[in-house]
Chain A
C-alpha cells in the first residue's frame, strides 16, 4: 500500500464537487440554527411556565441525543407522518435544529451578560421596550456572541459528514464512493482530512481575530 499521487489528483474534481455540497449544507444549516436558536431563546424566557419549561425540555432532549439518529429520524420516520423532505433539506434542517439548541445558549449568555443596571437605566430614562432592545441591550449583547457562534459554525461544518448517512453526496460520501469503486481508502480519506484541516485552521485564525475584536462571552 502506498500513496499514489496520480490517483489522488484524479479524484480531486469528485471530492471538490462534494466539498461544494458540504459548504452549502453548512451555510444553510447555520442560517436555520441562528433563527431557530433565537426562537428557542425567546420561548425559554417566556413568562408562561409551561411554554418555557416545555421549550427547555425539547432543547435538552435535542442536545442529549446524537445528530446522526436525529437525521435518520427526520429522513426515514417523518415521511410516515406525511413530511417528505429532500435529502439535503432534511440534513440542513436536522443540523440547524441540533445547533439551534447550542445557539440558544449563546443568545441567553449574551443577553444575560448585559448588567442589570443597564435594564434599570433604560427604564429610568423612559425608553420603550423596542428602544431598550435596539439601542441598549443588543449592541452590548451581540458582540460577545460572535466568537461563540463562529465556534459552533465550525463544529457544524465538521459534522457534515453525517449527512452521508442520509444519502447526501457531500465530501465524505464522495470520498466513500471513490473508495468503494477503487478499493483505496488512503488517498480519499487523507484528502478529506486535509480539506477539513485547511478550513479549520483558517477558521481558527479568523476566530482568534473575532475573539480579540469582540471579546469572549463566558458561558
Chain B
C-alpha cells in the first residue's frame, strides 16, 4: 500500500503550472494565505476577523490587484512552506523572515516587516543571557523557540544542542513555560515578545532586545516558486503602497518601522549569510 502511494507520488510529480494564477484568483475572488498565531504580526479579533501587520499589508496589496478577500489559515512556522508547496495556500504573510535557504524554497516579495530578535527572560536577567551563544555555553540553560522559525536556526547555529532547545508550539505556551520555569528564555522577534509581555501583564518577566549577534531580519510575502508572475505583480503594487505612504500608515501602528523595510531589498536579504 505504502509503496503504491510512493509510486503514485513519483509518477504524478509536478503539478502543471497554472496558466495565470492572478486571473484565477481574481475570478475566485479571494486568496488563501498562511499566517502565524503571533501578535502583532497577526491578530485574530474576538469576532474571528484576521488583522495584524502582515495580513493588513497583504490585504491592501491584493485589493489593488483586484482580489477582495483574504482567506487566512493559521499554521505553525514549520508547516507554512510545506503548505505553500502542497498548494494549500497561495501565499505566506506571517513574518517568515527572509533567509538564503528559504529564498531557495519560495519566491519572496520585496521586504515588508523588519524586526530584530529578542529573549523573554525572568526579571533582571539572572543568568545574564545576551546572545544565543551565552545560552549554548550554560550547560543547564534551556531555550524555547518556535519550530522551524528563524530563532531555532540561529540558536542551533550558535551551538545550543537540540535537547536544550525546546520547540514551543505558540507564543502563549512560550510565555507560560518561562513563567513556570520550564525554560530559561524564550526567543521571538522583539515586537512579538513586547506584545506578549504587555498582554500577560507579568511584572516578573522582561524582554532583552536585541539579541547580540543576531541580525535584523525582514519578511516578505512568500509565494510558490512557480507563481513568480503573481509575486512580480504583488511587488509592483507593494512598491506603490510604500511610495504613497499608505504602507507606513499600516505597519507603524503595530510598531514596525516602514523605513527599515524600504531601505533594504530582497536581493540583499536573500544573499546575506
Direct contact between A and B in the complex (CB less than 8 angstroms)?
Answer: yes
B179 surroundings in chain A (CB, below 8 A): 79
Contact present for A190 and B82 (CB under 8 Å): no
A193 surroundings in chain B (CB, below 8 A): 2
Contact of B173 among A3, A76, A84 (CB under 8 A): A76
Contact present for B78 and A176 (CB under 8 Å): yes
Contact present for A190 and B77 (CB under 8 Å): no
Which A141-186 residues have C-beta < 8 A from chain B?
165, 167, 169, 173, 176-177, 179-181, 183, 185-186
Smallest CB-CB separation from B163: which chain A residue?
A: A169
Contact present for B167 and A79 (CB under 8 Å): no
Q: Please give the distance in Å from B194's CB to the nearest CB on chain A.
A: 22
* Contact flag A84-B78 (CB < 8 Å), given A177-B147, A180-B152: no
Total interface residues on B, CB under 8 Å, equals: 30
A114 at interface by CB-CB < 8 Å: no
A179 surroundings in chain B (CB, below 8 A): 78, 82, 148
A11 surroundings in chain B (CB, below 8 A): none
B168 at interface by CB-CB < 8 Å: yes
B147 surroundings in chain A (CB, below 8 A): 176-177, 180
Binds A, one of B9-17, B37-45, B210-218, B263-271: B9-17
Q: In the bound complex, how far is the Cα of B102 from the Cα of A105, in angstroms?
A: 51
Contact present for B81 and A3 (CB under 8 Å): no
* Contact flag A3-B6 (CB < 8 Å), given A84-B180, A87-B182: yes
Smallest CB-CB separation from A165: which chain B residue?
A: B169
Total interface residues on A, CB under 8 Å, equals: 24
When each residue 1-18 of chain A gets 1 if its CB lies under 8 Å from chain B and 0 otherwise, what string results?
Answer: 111000000000000000
* Contact flag A186-B9 (CB < 8 Å), given A169-B163, A177-B167: yes
Contact of A167 among B78, B81, B86, B166 (CB under 8 A): B166
* Contact flag A76-B176 (CB < 8 Å), given A177-B167, A179-B78, A179-B82: yes
When each residue 165-177 of chain B gets 1 if its CB lies under 8 Å from chain A and 0 otherwise, what string results?
Answer: 0111100010011
Contact present for B6 and A190 (CB under 8 Å): yes
B81 surroundings in chain A (CB, below 8 A): 183
Mostly, the B contact residues are: helix
Contact present for B182 and A169 (CB under 8 Å): no
Q: In the bound complex, how far is the Cα of B85 from the Cα of A181, in angstroms?
A: 15
* Contact flag A84-B82 (CB < 8 Å), given A1-B9, A2-B10: no
Which B228-259 residues have C-beta < 8 A from chain A?
none
Smallest CB-CB separation from B169: which chain A residue?
A: A165
Contact present for B153 and A181 (CB under 8 Å): yes
Which A165-219 residues have C-beta < 8 A from chain B?
165, 167, 169, 173, 176-177, 179-181, 183, 185-186, 190, 193-194, 197
B133 at interface by CB-CB < 8 Å: no
Which B50-105 residues have C-beta < 8 A from chain A?
77-78, 81-82, 85-86, 105
A76 surroundings in chain B (CB, below 8 A): 173, 176
Contact present for B105 and A183 (CB under 8 Å): yes
Contact of A169 among B105, B162, B168 (CB under 8 A): B162
B148 surroundings in chain A (CB, below 8 A): 176-177, 179-181
Q: Please give the distance in Å from B155's CB to the nearest CB on chain A.
A: 12
B10 surroundings in chain A (CB, below 8 A): 2-3
Q: In the bound complex, how far is the Cα of B155 from the Cα of A129, in angstroms?
A: 62
Q: In the bound complex, how far is the Cα of B82 from the Cα of A176, in angstroms?
A: 11
Smallest CB-CB separation from B149: which chain A residue?
A: A180
B159 at interface by CB-CB < 8 Å: no
Top 8 closest pairs, chain A to chain B, by CB? A180-B148, A180-B78, A79-B180, A183-B81, A183-B105, A185-B82, A167-B166, A180-B147
A-B contact pairs, 26 of them (CB 8 A): A1-B9, A1-B13, A2-B10, A2-B13, A3-B10, A79-B179, A84-B182, A86-B182, A87-B166, A165-B169, A167-B166, A167-B169, A167-B177, A173-B167, A177-B78, A177-B147, A177-B148, A177-B162, A177-B167, A179-B82, A180-B148, A181-B153, A183-B81, A183-B82, A183-B105, A193-B2
Where the two chains meet, the residues of A that have a C-beta atom closer than 8 Å to any C-beta of B are 1-3, 76, 79, 84, 86-87, 165, 167, 169, 173, 176-177, 179-181, 183, 185-186, 190, 193-194, 197
Where the two chains meet, the residues of B that have a C-beta atom closer than 8 Å to any C-beta of A are 2, 6, 9-10, 13-14, 77-78, 81-82, 85-86, 105, 147-148, 152-153, 162-163, 166-169, 173, 176-177, 179-182
